[in-house]
Structure 1
Amino acid sequence: MSSAFQTGLFSGGPLGLFWGWNICSLFMLLISFSLAEICSAYPTMGGLYFWVCKMKPDTPVLGFCTGWIYSIAMVFTGTSGNLSVALYLASLAEVGRGRTLTRVEIAAIAWGVNIASGIINTVGTKAIGGMSSFNLWWTLGGTFVLVITLLVKAPVKNTANFVFTDYENFTGWGNRGFVVLLGFLQAVYTLEGCETAAQVAEEARRPEILAPLAVVGSIVGSWLIGLAYMLALLFSVQSIANVQATSYAIPIAQLYYDAVGKRLTLMCLTVVALAQFMAAVTAFTASSRLFYALSRDNAFPMKSWFMALNRFQAPYWGVWVSVLIGCIISCAYIGSAVAFNAILSSAAIAVMLSYLQPILIRVLWPSTLPEPGPFNLGRWSWPINLASALFTVFICVLFILPIAHPTNSLNMNYAVVAIGGVIAIVVGGCLSSQMFIMLTGPVLALFSIVVAANAIVVHDWEFNDCHLLLLRFYRL
């Protein structure tokens, strides 16, 4: 929530943040119900793509596409989380030492954080479960500390009228409703990831019960805890204009600095950064397990490599491929700070696209779950799945739209480039027998963001020139 907080603050302000959080939480809860019902019937490591294969065995291409898009989504999520950690570390240096870090330095920190995630996933397999449990209590306790610190130390407390009705717009768009919708990214990005319980289902006891409960419980818990944290931030923010004009690497650092001062800001950022890092590590845990499952089911090239386990029982090839792609994506931040929002958007869209396929199958073919598990929605299953599918499509379209007006090469939403490239490569791979394309394609598609961002900043190219560059790249 802290990483994407500025998105909602600048697109709708407190009004959009509060109502957007609750609206998105409600629909994400419906999505969790839909996924939990399927998870209860098929509690296995493959997760989303395995569910699609089981429900539509006559159309294996659907499972293939789901698996690849979801694996890329997990890498996107881990990368965005690790880049957020780098921004928190940079902000800690800026607040504590008064030195502004360059984008190259921040990208280098992101590389280090990605590599640290890889090392933990390689040698700390048994510790990851304990770390996740610790992160639960760290998040609960940390939220309590942050809320109390903000409400006690903020020199000026905002009124309820400000928190629930104040509208802010730093996007340039004139339509009030559209501006508020753009702020939904903050909520959706925060709430995604409930399905990752399925990635470790085979490592749990009674997964047909515990896994779906974890899927739904993560949304319920995040909704309530996130609401308390958000209200504390909104009651304590001293100046939204200051946050928007900040020189700190991540804008929420300015909010904390204005509200609680230098020393407590360092404490608050440390609490958030550590929670973010532990969460990002588990995203690479999920992606590596997914690569393993895809290889096990003959949907991945170099099968023996990605199924290889080290003495710590970690699928280390999947871990380090995730790290490599994460480091490449992080380089986009060197070209433009706008790339950070593009990475957030890309992560959110990729996850939602992965959700869409099993849910849409349940809408179009309700009989595809002949033997439901203990977690069963009964007669409410179809309407909940329909609402979930419609919201997912809406979000995927919304998050590729321009986030600023007038739109130019410097503020374009490059998420459309990343997601378009990923979809083109995955679909092309399904139609091609050359599986090597499937391995290199996602890396090349994501690398195109780096090429475009750097070319625009260095050469000050026009918007159309950027499109020509990308067109030539994809043709190649």
Structure 2
Amino acid sequence: MIKAELRDFSAGDDKEVACDIVASDQRLQDLGYAVEFRREMSLFGVLGMSFCAIGILTGMSSAFQTGLFSGGPLGLFWGWNICSFFMFLIALSLAEICSTYPTMGGLYFWVCKMKPDMPILGFFTGWLYSMAMVFTGAAGNLSIALYLASMAEVGQGRTLTGIEITAIAWAMNIFSGIINTIGTKAIGRMSAFNVWWTLGGTFVLVITLLVKAPVKNSPEFVFTNFENFTGWQSKGFVVLLGFLQAVYTLEGCETAAQVAEEAVRAEILAPLAVVGSIAGSWLIGLAYMLSLLFAVQNIASVKATTFALPISQLFYDAVGPQLTQVCLVVVTLAQVMAAFTNFTASSRLFYALARDNAFPFKKQFMALNRFQAPYWGVWTSVLIGCLISCAYIGSAVAFNAILSSAAISVMLSYLQPILIRVFWPDCIEEFGPFCLGKWSWPVNFASFLFCVFICVLFILPTAYPVNVLNMNYAIVAVGGLLVIITINWFWWGKHSFKGPVKTWVTPNSSL
């Protein structure tokens, strides 16, 4: 009799849910892991995790100027739809693997299971992706500080210093740690609420912009106007640089996998959340983007803004100071919820890596508090996030390099399992309920090509002529991170990490 069957379901529990929990626990045990977390997340909660991590309102608002200055409305509209299509293909590729291996290790565990003879791939994927989640969380918390700084500028005319902005980012990092320490229920409910907040917030922003903007741009402007503030002469290259805004916004769909061991029927719900979050974000983001393009009053004014975030100037010009505050509040609260989920993901990754001897201090990082939270991973994420935030005091350029490295690291992490599915298509013998069938290899191949293309694009200079202030230092940051992981592999990981460690042995298991 398996551990799941020994649970005491109360008379008030739904029998069907109880059976689903048993089935989910059985699947996890078949993969070699004992049940450690309570399954308290529904489809809405798991879907909300990915929606939170993608943060369509926040990603679009924070990075909108990237596309606006690199291609303008033409690049933004077509870049969004092209990138959304390929990110949807990536989501399909990841969802198929997620359905087969529904564990919190996510990308890391998938790589280990599909290519067990090369543990170095799993080790690199796990470390790279966990650091990317921490960096992304730190970036999200700094974005909150910048939104608050913009609100202070709009409402009071007061410009916050770099130290003040960093102090707010520290406070948000610590607050994220406190919320994540509370446990699964709080994060799950917040994630579910974020779905409604995203839908409602998008509606509010779209209506406000379209109704209050004094001048509405023509469809010709929205779909064909080209802008170039980069200095590059190649029109095609400038439009491609605008693609980075879309990719940065849409990263995060795989976060649902990090709570797979806390979801009922994770082999079904997690892949649905992965795919559904991209499909929903594509449509919601398109509606928000079109409202911004129809309402933008002067692109040069947005470029020359003194506000902490350029999107604040777009709001200010279109709807005035009071409604700008309303718009910023909507986006800021969405950013708060998005930042929380990054530390949720990173703490679960640290737990999964420690469980398999791929991370030091195994006992500590596998410890759960009474709220079922892996608190060591949570507060390690907070500590790293606070240290990263300090870079903003010395140099915004250095901090931006860290942010760019996080985006590249996520794409490199996507690349690992997809690469294996392309070059070793028979690496999965038995698929889960979510299966692409004959379309599996073509979808994986297209996803592979797009990941490689974006990783190269992310490290190219975004302005010309290139100097020390506008140089894209992402290649330095990513290179440094890869060097650290490589040293760690040869110094420690090579001797301690052999692949996933079974914590549960099921008789006659085929896995």
Residue 393 of structure 1 is matched in structure 2 by 452
- Residue 338 of structure 1 deviates from its aligned partner by 3.3
CA distance in 2, matches of 1:232, 1:342: 30
Residue 411 of structure 2 is matched in structure 1 by 352
Q: Deviations over 1:344-402 (max 9, x none)?
A: 32221010000000000000000001001111111111111011011001111110111
Which letter does structure 2 place at the counterpart of 1:374?
P
Which letter does structure 2 place at the counterpart of 1:198?
A
CA distance in 1, matches of 2:187, 2:492: 37
**Is contact 1:294–1:300 with CA below 8 Å preserved after alignment?**
yes
Q: Residue 303 of structure 1 is aligned with which of 355, 358, 362?
A: 362
CA distance in 2, matches of 1:411, 1:334: 18
Residue 19 of structure 2 is matched in structure 1 by none
Residue 283 of structure 1 is matched in structure 2 by 342
Residue 121 of structure 2 is matched in structure 1 by 62
Q: Deviations over 1:51-96 (max 9, x none)?
A: 0111111111111111001101111111111111111011011111
Q: Deviations over 1:122-178 (max 9, x none)?
A: 124421100001111001000000000000000000011111111111111111111
Asked if 1:188 corresponds to 2:247, the answer is: yes
CA distance in 2, matches of 1:128, 1:104: 30
**In the comparison of the two structures, how many residue pairs are matched?**
438
Bigger CA radius of gyration = 2
CA distance in 2, matches of 1:124, 1:302: 21
Residue 96 of structure 1 is matched in structure 2 by 155
Unaligned runs of 5+ in 2: 1-59, 498-511
Residue 372 of structure 1 is matched in structure 2 by 431
CA distance in 2, matches of 1:399, 1:335: 23
Residue 15 of structure 2 is matched in structure 1 by none
Which letter does structure 1 place at the counterpart of 2:429?
P
Asked if 1:274 corresponds to 2:316, the answer is: no
Residue 292 of structure 1 is matched in structure 2 by 351
- Residue 320 of structure 1 deviates from its aligned partner by 1.1
**Is contact 1:189–1:344 with CA below 8 Å preserved after alignment?**
no
Which letter does structure 2 place at the counterpart of 1:57?
P
Q: Deviations over 1:249-276 (max 9, x none)?
A: 0000000000000110000000000001
Residue 199 of structure 1 is matched in structure 2 by 258
Asked if 1:259 corresponds to 2:318, the answer is: yes
CA distance in 2, matches of 1:254, 1:336: 23
Q: Residue 337 of structure 1 is aligned with which of 393, 396, 414?
A: 396
Residue 107 of structure 1 is matched in structure 2 by 166
- Residue 433 of structure 1 deviates from its aligned partner by 2.8
Asked if 1:5 corresponds to 2:64, the answer is: yes
**Is contact 1:185–1:345 with CA below 8 Å preserved after alignment?**
no
Residue 483 of structure 2 is matched in structure 1 by 424
- Residue 339 of structure 1 deviates from its aligned partner by 4.1
CA distance in 1, matches of 2:298, 2:399: 23
Residues 78 and 127 of structure 1, relative CA distance in 2, 3 Å threshold: same
**Is contact 1:93–1:99 with CA below 8 Å preserved after alignment?**
yes
Q: CA RMSD in A?
A: 1.6
Asked if 1:239 corresponds to 2:313, the answer is: no
- Residue 234 of structure 1 deviates from its aligned partner by 0.3
Residue 199 of structure 2 is matched in structure 1 by 140
State the identity %: 78
- Residue 341 of structure 1 deviates from its aligned partner by 3.8
Which letter does structure 1 place at the counterpart of 2:90?
I
CA distance in 1, matches of 2:190, 2:317: 32
Which letter does structure 2 place at the counterpart of 1:355?
Y
**Is contact 1:185–1:348 with CA below 8 Å preserved after alignment?**
no
Asked if 1:151 corresponds to 2:151, the answer is: no
CA distance in 2, matches of 1:435, 1:378: 36
- Matched residue of 1:405: which SS? coil
Q: Deviations over 1:404-432 (max 9, x none)?
A: 11111111112111111111111222222
- Residue 21 of structure 1 deviates from its aligned partner by 0.4
Residue 32 of structure 2 is matched in structure 1 by none
**Is contact 1:284–1:322 with CA below 8 Å preserved after alignment?**
yes
Q: Residue 361 of structure 1 is aligned with which of 413, 420, 424?
A: 420
CA distance in 1, matches of 2:117, 2:135: 30
Q: Residue 308 of structure 2 is aligned with which of 242, 249, 259?
A: 249
After superposition, residues 119-134 of structure 1 pair within 5 angstroms as 119-134=178-193
Structure 2 length-normalised TM = 0.84
After superposition, residues 217-236 of structure 1 pair within 5 angstroms as 217-236=276-295
Asked if 1:209 corresponds to 2:268, the answer is: yes
- Residue 340 of structure 1 deviates from its aligned partner by 5.1
CA distance in 1, matches of 2:272, 2:278: 10
Unaligned runs of 5+ in 1: 439-476
Q: Residue 49 of structure 1 is aligned with which of 101, 104, 108?
A: 108
CA distance in 2, matches of 1:108, 1:411: 26
Structure 1 length-normalised TM = 0.90
CA distance in 2, matches of 1:358, 1:168: 37
- Residue 435 of structure 1 deviates from its aligned partner by 8.7
CA distance in 2, matches of 1:434, 1:396: 26
